[in-house]
Amino acid sequence: MASKKIIDLGAYRQYFDDSALWQKIAGVARKAGIKVVYAALVLYYLARDGKMPMGEKLKIYGSLGYFILPIDLIPDSLIALGFTDDFAALAYALYSASKYVTPDIEARAEAKLREWFGDFDRSQIAGLLPAGDCTSPAPQR
């Protein structure tokens, strides 16, 4: 049985833009939550990795494009529900590309998280990568 895609990410590839992503994250980081932001950051850094297969990059850019767009299935302005569809798109792409996540990518994403959230407990982002893929130790400060 073929699995259904939650969201057709291909339609959103054209909306990805670096500056739009940074503006979106800066504007909604606290409201979206640390898991959504971490997923977006890991995907952003993965997409920049020259070793990523093009098919995975397209999924990543599609999910990030969906995240950037102000109009989506569940309006971001809805309290407690607004980012569930964005997170679903990001989580799908992250799960698909998780085997390409390196300790360096994790460290870069976590460093950026600290800029927006300050110190955080790593348990808040645990489970976003399939078991065994999240290999980096806690960053030293």
DSSP H/E element including 58: helix 54-68
Coil vs helix vs strand at 98: helix
Please, what is the average pLDDT of the chain?
78
Task: Please tell me the distance from the alpha carbon of residue 67 to that of residue 98, in angstroms, as a whole number.
Answer: 18
Of 78, 103, 62, residue with least CA distance to 28: 78
Q: Which pLDDT tens digit goes with each residue over 56-102?
A: 998 998 889 888 877 766 665 566 666 778 888 899 999 999 999 99
Position 3 pLDDT exceeds 70:
no
Task: Please tell me the distance from the alpha carbon of residue 36 to that of residue 53, in angstroms, as a whole number.
Answer: 23
